[in-house]
Amino acid sequence: MADASLGLWTVPLAVFGGAIRVSTPFLFVSLGECITERSGRINLGLEGTLVMGAMSAYGISYLSGSPWLGVLAAGITGALFGALHAGICSLPRVNDIAVGIALMLLGTGLAFFLGKPLIEPTAARLPAIDFGWWSDVPQLRAALRINVLFLIGVAIAPLLYWAFKTTRWGLLIRTAGESADAARAMGHSVLLIRLRATMVGGFLAGIGGSFLSLFYPGSWNEGLSSGQGITAVALVIFARWDPMLCLWASLAFGGAAALGPALQSVGITSGYHLFNAAPYILTLAIMIITCSPKRTLTGAPAELSITR
């Protein structure tokens, strides 16, 4: 047989492939949220932004025939949602978490409503780059068909790490996040910094959504996100507000999501619910190990409403 099965080797291969395929939305949302939270705000609405991004990308790609236009539309939609969040939060005595939850419901509801006629048609998909040309193992070649958005996401992580550390903009965002008073004393508008940070965060989350509908799984339906946006927001805390750790955490979550189906496919069938829950068990375990009643979370921006 030409395409002989790989037996147990499928499992590491699927985890590897899954890390690449499934992680991209996690990566974009968590990097976006990382920027927003570093500026001192939590935007829980990114689940809604992700779903809105997925829907608008699919719609624009279907109407225009260009998936890249869809990605752009998803980003703009995301930025608008970010602006809405930041705008409402600029008002006095508004709780950013409550606004986030409201926007999460608004985003998903609006996307389901506007996306109704998009469930049936098939839109143009984003292309994949074939990095497996050197291999004659079809399974490996399939795993190495990588979308360019994934590569962009991987590139953004170190860029962001560097930007936070060394650029003026990075410093401003961090200042707004650590001490709003200090930023004000320097003569900067904290609200404006946070508005921009939330918009950029929304832009990235929207693009994460476009990956879902335009590449993998690759169509628009209402169960598409199934909570990935909210998981990614939690990932930021898990990654200690560090873009590089966001990258590794996203890859780990992607790989873990592939673990359940892959183990079943090689015949390890007992306790598949447990394997499906692997990412969440992992999160809980790390949270429990690293938490301490004596201090706040390391790396947490001091202005966040959960740490203040």
Q: Which residues bind other proteins (CB under 8 A)?
A: 1, 3-6, 10, 13-14, 17-18, 21-22, 112-113, 116-117, 119-120, 122, 139, 142, 212, 216-219, 221-224, 226, 228, 257-258, 260-262, 264-267, 269-270, 272-273, 276
What span, in angstroms and rounded, lies between the C-alpha atoms of 206 and 184? 30
Between residues 129 and 287, which has the closer beta carbon with respect to other proteins? 129
Please, what is the minimum distance in Å from the beta carbon of residue 189 to other proteins? 40
Cβ proximity to other proteins: between 23 and 283 the closer is 23
DSSP state of 7: G
For 168-205, letters b (16+ CB in 10 Å) and e give: eebebbbbbbbbbeebeeeeeebeebbbbbbbbbbbbb
Beta bridge partners of 147: 128
| Rounded least distance, CB 131 to other proteins, Å | 16
Pick between residue 123 and residue 199 the one whose CB is nearest to other proteins.
Answer: 123
**Cβ 259 to other proteins shortest distance, Å:** 9
* Cβ at position 262, least distance to other proteins in Å: 5
Q: Using the minimum distance from each CB to other proteins, give the nearer residue, 179 or 221.
A: 221
Q: Which is nearer to other proteins, 19 or 34 (CB)?
A: 19
Between the alpha carbon of residue 121 and those of residues 65, 124, 210, 220, 239, the distances in Å are: 12, 10, 16, 9, 38
- The least distance separating other proteins from the CB of residue 136, rounded to whole angstroms, comes to 15
Crossing angle of helices 67-89 and 190-214, rounded to 10°: 150
Q: What is the largest CA-CA distance in the chain?
A: 72
Kind plus residue range of the DSSP H or E element containing 128:
strand 128-130
